[in-house]
């Protein structure tokens, strides 16, 4: 067994690998950029080596610096995590030449599966079902449109070296094929330094289901069940689960055996994932093989009881797998929600900034949090915007979903935009709870992102009651204990200009709160400054997030947020007479929807534009975002130029 391992990564996956190393008694070496000098993975490691500036291309992707770090620290092996150099053939070969073990598959397997065109040929030869398409490279946009039409729309245009949702576009007609080809090629070149693009048939009503495989150096290869990864947006996974609510035993076995056949065809060793597209009739087609540990590996660990990182390390050290296929058991159900720094109300655009407040739900046998951040950490524009992975487990799917809903209520993040409310809306959605999902789920159910939904009456009454209890606690503190509780029993809670009468009665072990005439029993207390109200409402264990904004309270629960102004009755009557301030009219501006780089402008001053016409391209988190005109108009003034760094809501174009 290795005595010291270097983790060539950052964030939550670096911390995750270190936890397994620590349990195995293996010393760890962290590498870091200047932006990550105080990051948790650096603090957690036994040693740490600075690689270079913040940009990944100057630090985490510099192979020779990582090789030098191994030599300087005496690290015998490198775990690459995922992303960065995890599927880089040159990196694996360089480590081998330096006498350092790569905790992953052989370079030839990485190369074969890393090329999406070559991998499909190998898969077909190995007897694996593949999607119809054009496997040759495409030279220009016109050829892309011609080939797409021959295959039959809709098609998927993909970068051969792509991954993480980059360099991928769906096209439903010739124009979209041309635009998609140009965008996919541009993204592929900037993200992977490889602009090769191919086209394949896009499967309608598709599910994204993947098989976890594990192989050793002695010829043994097993599959560890499947993961359902259909809940995704912009081809990036958001919510994963194991097992899939869609597969039957026969389909699982067939997919697993094909995944193993593919792994054996390329002499695979280590953990890997074979991804499939599955149609509504459970026909499945090979998509790609990821020759690394997946982001969503925890759900497989939860239902198999196996530590995949430990097994990767043991296999790399020359050990055989300690079990056979017949000994693999799947028990219970597990969900993983990816907590992202993004703004769902702006169609999931990335958010950057500081985690001013950060409090995770309590970890337990049913709740696991894999993260690489702490309160005060900076979510940088240089790296992936994922904050953490929240994993819940239960004896069945309904129990795992219930645990997820409770954990999301208790996850408190402030200072940046995040997707917690959206995740709550996802797991509460009737279609998701029924297991009725495709990769189009988010596009269909949340076509313009998640701006929040109208609060149901029973939930509104509960939040009104909590708001009144919180306001009463503040009033009693401010009064210094003077006066009886009866002086603080009647309130008016104003939500969206509607006045709701609320009364509070003190009982022996609970409060009886009447909101809009509905009586609610509440147990639990809140103290000033606490971010959470935790207790029981009508006998149900409930967590409500509490924020103060001037005189207002913002209460968050179940993915819903309510802004409440809690007043004494006579003050509420006066508040009715206050004038309302109107927001400024920004309709004549094109505003940057996110912080990012203005890559290009497609219009000039004085130019007339039509609704839907391209105006600008903004790049953020390595993704290009095409901004279009919402209506016809004439450009009056340009407020930014290509190459400018933009803040969120910064003016780009002004219309007459």
- In angstroms, the Cα distances linking 584 to 457, 589, 590, 618, 633 are 32, 12, 14, 24, 20
Give the pLDDT score at 572: 92
Other CB atoms within 10 Å distance of the CB of residue 381:
19
Ranges of each domain in the chain: 4-103, 104-131+206-330, 132-201, 332-445, 457-575, 589-655
Per-residue pLDDT of 365-397, as tens digits, reads: 999 999 999 999 989 888 888 999 999 999 999
Whole-angstrom distance, CA of residue 159 vs CA of residue 96: 28
Whether residue 585 is predicted with pLDDT greater than 90 in this model: the reply is: no
Report the top-level CATH class of 4-103: alpha beta
Whole-angstrom distance, CA of residue 576 vs CA of residue 99: 76
Instruction: Burial-class residue 254 by CB neighbours within 10 Å (0-12, 13-18, 19+).
Output: middle
Residues 6+ apart with CB under 8 A from 97: none
CATH number, domain 332-445: 3.30.470.20
**Pick among 2.40.10.10, 3.30.470.20, 3.40.50.620, 3.30.450.20: CATH of 104-131+206-330:** 3.30.470.20
Per-residue pLDDT of 491-520, as tens digits, reads: 999 999 999 999 999 888 899 999 999 999
Task: Indicate the pairing of strand 27-33 with strand 47-52.
Answer: parallel
- Band of residue 478 on the pLDDT scale cut at 50, 70, 90: confident
- Band of residue 164 on the pLDDT scale cut at 50, 70, 90: low
Per-residue pLDDT of 186-197, as tens digits, reads: 888 887 888 888
What are 32's two structure tokens? 């870091």
Give the pLDDT score at 622: 65
The DSSP annotation for 592-651 comes to -SSSEEEEEE---TT-EE-TT-EEEEEEETTEEEEEE-SS-EEEEEE---TT-EE-TT-E
Give the pLDDT score at 195: 86
What are 537's two structure tokens? 């409402």
- Report the mean per-residue pLDDT for the chain: 93
Residues 6+ apart with CB under 8 A from 42: 30, 32, 36, 48
Backbone phi, then psi, for 625, in 5-degree steps?
-120, 115
| Coarse DSSP helix, strand, coil percentages of the chain, rounded to the nearest 5 percent | 30, 35, 35
- Band of residue 481 on the pLDDT scale cut at 50, 70, 90: low
Asked if residues 247 and 107 have their Cβ atoms less than 8 Å apart, the reply is no
CATH architecture, range 457-575: 2-Layer Sandwich (3.30)
Give the whole-number percent of the chain exceeding pLDDT 90: 77
Q: What is the DSSP letter of 129?
A: -
- Band of residue 117 on the pLDDT scale cut at 50, 70, 90: confident
State whether CATH 2.40.50.100 applies to domain 589-655.
yes
Q: Same CATH fold, 332-445 and 104-131+206-330?
A: yes
Give the pLDDT score at 240: 98
Whole-angstrom distance, CA of residue 542 vs CA of residue 410: 9
Per-residue pLDDT of 56-92, as tens digits, reads: 999 999 999 999 999 999 999 999 999 999 999 999 9
- In angstroms, the Cα distances linking 250 to 95, 246, 256, 283 are 41, 12, 10, 12
Report the DSSP beta bridge partners of residue 276: 209, 286
- Band of residue 482 on the pLDDT scale cut at 50, 70, 90: low
CATH architecture, range 132-201: 2-Layer Sandwich (3.30)
What are 474's two structure tokens? 């503040």
Give the pLDDT score at 486: 59
Least confident of 120-134, 182-196, 201-215: 182-196
* Helices 89-97 and 107-114, packing angle to 10 deg: 170
Give the pLDDT score at 193: 81
345-348's contacts with Cβ under 8 Å and 24+ in sequence apart are: 345/449, 345/450, 345/451, 345/452, 346/417, 346/449, 346/593, 346/594, 347/448, 347/449, 347/593, 348/233, 348/234, 348/419, 348/422, 348/449
Whole-angstrom distance, CA of residue 318 vs CA of residue 275: 27
Active site residues: 288
The DSSP annotation for 59-114 comes to TTT-HHHHHHHHHHHT--EEE--SSTTTT-HHHHHHHHHTT-EESS--HHHHHHHH
Least confident of 190-199, 220-229, 527-536: 190-199
pTM: 0.83
Give the pLDDT score at 449: 85
What are 23's two structure tokens? 């349990």
Whole-angstrom distance, CA of residue 465 vs CA of residue 404: 24
Whole-angstrom distance, CA of residue 45 vs CA of residue 22: 9
Per-residue pLDDT of 137-157, as tens digits, reads: 888 999 999 999 999 899 999
Give the pLDDT score at 445: 93
């Amino acid at each position: 067994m290795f005595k010291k391992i270097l983790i060539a990564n950052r964030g939550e996956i670096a911390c995750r690998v270190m936890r397994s190393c620590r349990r195995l008694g293996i010393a760890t070496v962290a590498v870091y950029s200047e932006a990550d000098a105080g990051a948790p993975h650096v603090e957690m490691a036994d040693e740490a080596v600075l690689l270079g500036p913040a940009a990944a291309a100057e630090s985490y992707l510099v192979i020779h610096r990582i090789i030098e770090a191994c030599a300087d620290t005496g690290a015998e092996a490198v775990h690459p995590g995922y992303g960065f150099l995890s599927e880089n053939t040159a990196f694996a070969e360089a480590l081998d030449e330096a006498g350092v073990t790569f905790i992953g598959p052989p370079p030839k397997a990485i190369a074969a599966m890393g090329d999406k065109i070559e991998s499909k040929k190998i898969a077909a030869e190995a007897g694996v079902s593949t999607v119809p398409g054009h496997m040759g490279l495409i030279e220009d946009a016109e050829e892309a449109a011609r080939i797409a039409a021959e295959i039959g729309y809709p098609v998927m245009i993909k970068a051969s070296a792509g991954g993480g949702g980059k360099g991928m576009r769906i096209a439903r007609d010739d124009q979209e094929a041309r635009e998609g080809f140009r965008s996919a090629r541009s993204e592929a070149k900037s993200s992977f330094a490889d602009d090769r693009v191919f086209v394949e048939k896009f499967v309608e009503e598709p599910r994204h289901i993947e098989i976890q495989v594990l192989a050793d150096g002695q010829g043994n290869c097993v599959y560890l069940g499947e993961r359902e990864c259909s809940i995704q947006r912009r081809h990036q996974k958001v919510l994963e689960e194991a097992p899939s609510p869609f597969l039957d035993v026969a389909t699982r076995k067939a997919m697993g055996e094909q995944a193993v056949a593919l792994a054996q065809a390329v002499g695979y060793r280590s953990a890997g994932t074979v991804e499939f597209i599955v149609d509504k009739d459970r026909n499945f087609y090979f998509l790609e093989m990821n020759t690394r540990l997946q982001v969503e590996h925890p759900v497989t660990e939860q239902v198999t009881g196996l530590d995949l990182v430990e097994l990767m390390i043991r296999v790399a050290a020359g050990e055989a797998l300690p079990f056979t296929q017949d000994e693999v058991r799947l028990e219970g159900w597990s969900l993983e929600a990816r907590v992202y720094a993004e703004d769902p109300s702006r169609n999931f655009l990335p958010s950057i900034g500081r985690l001013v407040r950060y409090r995770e739900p309590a970890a337990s046998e049913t709740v696991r949090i894999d993260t690489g951040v702490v309160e005060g950490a900076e979510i940088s524009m240089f790296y992936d915007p994922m904050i953490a992975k929240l994993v819940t487990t239960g004896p069945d799917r309904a129990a795992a979903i219930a645990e997820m809903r409770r954990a999301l209520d208790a996850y408190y993040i402030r200072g940046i935009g995040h997707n917690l409310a959206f995740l709550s809306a996802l797991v509460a959605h009737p279609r998701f709870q029924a297991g009725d999902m495709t990769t189009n789920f988010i596009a269909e159910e949340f076509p313009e992102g998640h701006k929040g939904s109208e609060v149901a009456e029973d939930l509104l009454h509960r939040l009104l009651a909590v708001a009144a209890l919180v306001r009463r606690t503040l009033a009693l503190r401010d009064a210094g204990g003077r006066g009886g509780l009866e002086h603080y029993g009647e309130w008016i809670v104003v939500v969206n200009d509607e006045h709701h009468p609320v009364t509070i009665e003190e009982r022996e072990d609970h409060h009886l709160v009447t909101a809009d005439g509905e009586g609610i029993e509440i147990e639990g207390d809140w103290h000033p400054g606490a971010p959470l109200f935790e207790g029981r409402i009508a006998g149900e264990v409930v967590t409500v997030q509490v924020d103060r904004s001037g005189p207002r309270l913002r209460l968050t629960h179940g993915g819903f947020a309510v802004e409440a102004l809690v007043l004494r009755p006579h003050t509420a009557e006066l508040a009715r007479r206050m004038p309302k301030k109107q927001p400024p009219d920004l309709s004549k501006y094109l505003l940057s929807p996110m912080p990012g780089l203005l890559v290009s402008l497609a219009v000039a001053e004085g130019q007339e534009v039509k609704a839907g016409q391209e105006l600008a391209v903004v790049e953020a988190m390595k993704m290009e975002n095409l901004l279009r005109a919402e209506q016809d108009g004439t450009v009056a003034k340009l407020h930014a130029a290509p190459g400018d760094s933009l803040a969120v809501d910064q003016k780009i174009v002004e219309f007459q």
